[in-house]
Structure 1
Amino acid sequence: MDVLLDNLDLFGPFFLTTIELFLIAGVASLVLGTILAMLRVSPVPALRVIGTVYVTLLRNTPLTLVFAFLVFAYPLLDIVKIDYFPTAAVALTLYTSAFICEVVRSGINTVPVGQAEAARALGLHFGQVLGQVVLPQALRSVVPPMISTLIALLKNTTIASGFSVAEAGAIRQYISERGGNQLVALLWVALGFIVLVLVLSLLQRSLEKRWSVAR
């Protein structure tokens, strides 16, 4: 307990930064990932190609390289200078959205084709069919893999500590500089992440219970 109590000035703010980074990247990834999924099932070939190329490229690129590009290579373009925290949020969003896309697309594939055909017979265009008929059902069916992807995002936030973002992954380094016990510090950090993952697991159960009743 001494390591925790003596370093509350680290654990509190750093875990708060982790949560902020997770929430920002999580919401942005859900939005971008859903848009990518719509591109991948679009009737327009060019849009399908764009979605496929993006997902294939990002899913097969290590997250560390995405961070490295945005932190070290992007500034050389001299377009818009952004700080380390926003850069980390962008990197996590770009990477995670590719996985969210595939989760949403798998959900779209579970919706019976007849429902989309019936919606089109009523005069709805592609966007209306997808937004009003297909996506609401698709998202309900992919809660477990969606939460699993968000849990992976939560754990991936620790990579930001290697790129000058003061979040939970950097606590060990700071405690080491103070001469504290690094092993105990890592155990407390692990416990903190376990608590956050449990919160996401409870959210998953709540959504599954609510939407199973709705179905």
Structure 2
Amino acid sequence: MGQSPVERGTVGRGPKVQRAVHAATLAELAEKGYAALTVDGVARRAGVHKTTVYRRWKDRESLVVDALAEHFARDIPAPDTGSVETDLLVLARALVDSMTGPVGTALLTAMYSDAGRLQEVAEARRRVFQDRYQRAEPVVTRAVERGELPEGTDALELFRALAAPIYFRLLVTDEPVGEAAADQSVAVVLTAARAGVLVRHHNGPAR
């Protein structure tokens, strides 16, 4: 008996399968949206059997969470240019590029539609934000060590202040978001940080 097209097109095992399934998941998400995404569709696009997908991911939600977390971890750099300003410019511009691309647009649609109420989608949102914060933290630590920012500058608050204007444009006012918006966010957050507004005091929040 001959092999089916899917069987003939299988991609092997291990990391190669994971990469193929992740890529197929993101392509399906960008093309069809979260609501129409199915494990069957992902498997067909990846060239693997559906059972291969289910051996690694228990359901559609866990597959999407994993693929998104891996994608954004790779998509947003952890810069070390020697200057806090250029580090933050790299971060902010990468954030804009990431969130205005096909995958970022699909993620925003999923997170802020009815699908956003699902626990798994909320988990994807949390993991994406946590990864971005972890990439911003050493930028702030090095800047404090170099004397570019005040001692005690709160990396989490700095990242929130950096990202907030970008997400406001994307989600609230639906304005165009490009490099100029990223650069403006950096200028604003650096002014606030250098003035000590983002310093954490006595283990409490930044004032």
Per the normalisation by structure 1, the TM-score is 0.26
Provide TM-score, normalisation by structure 2: 0.27
Which structure is higher in helix share?
A: 1
Structure with greater contact order relative to length (CA < 8 Å, sep ≥ 6): 1
